Amino acid sequence: MTTALSQERLQAQITFAMEIDKLKRVIRRNTLIDGSRRENDAEHSWHIGMMAMVMAEHAPPGVDLDRVIAMLLVHDIVEIDAGDTFIYDQRAVERQSALEQAAADRIFGLLPEDQAKRLRALWDEFEERTTPEARFAKALDRLAPIVVNHHNDGGTWALYKVTARQVLEKVQIISEGSPELGAYAVGLVESSVARGHLAP
């Protein structure tokens, strides 16, 4: 039998589900690998969730893969309000935290309290990078655009005049989550420089 309380809970869940549909409209700087168009946040989150599944063997021993995937599914939800922050735009990065914290309060707050607390905790964990799961999740988040730009003649690196030094600064976070993936990312950067697709 449906109670008023269970109906209220379901309605909160539906409201949240409808709200996060907006993530499909948040356009990122990065394009698809074929360069045909820019990707949206929902596509990005799905893609790196799949990367976590197939690259799990490159995570530190004992990492809870389900938790990693859950973090990747929620990590960009705040961009519904805060927008996509280009990591090479220092002024935008400085404003990012406050905007995203406010967005997390509002969006996760749409859920029933227990679920709001659980999903917000996953988002906080991803942002803080204090667990092996969060560091691996963040590594994948950083690796994906490097792979795309490498296979897309420099992609957004060329468009926004990003240098290898700037990219390598971001690779450090990949190495913290997975030394093997970090080394792979360095190789992609070096190859992109050698091909003239990334400024030294």
pLDDT digits (tens, 9 = 90+) for 164-199: 999 999 899 999 999 999 999 999 999 999 999 999
User: Above 90 in pLDDT, residue 50?
Assistant: yes
The amino acid at 79: E
User: Above 60 in pLDDT, residue 1?
Assistant: no
| Greatest distance between any 2 Cα atoms in the chain | 66
* Cα–Cα distance for residue pair 40/24, rounded to 1 Å: 6
pLDDT-wise least confident of 33-37, 136-140, 172-176: 33-37
Question: Which is more confidently placed, 87 or 73?
Answer: 73
pTM of the model: 0.94
CATH of domain 4-194: 1.10.3210.10
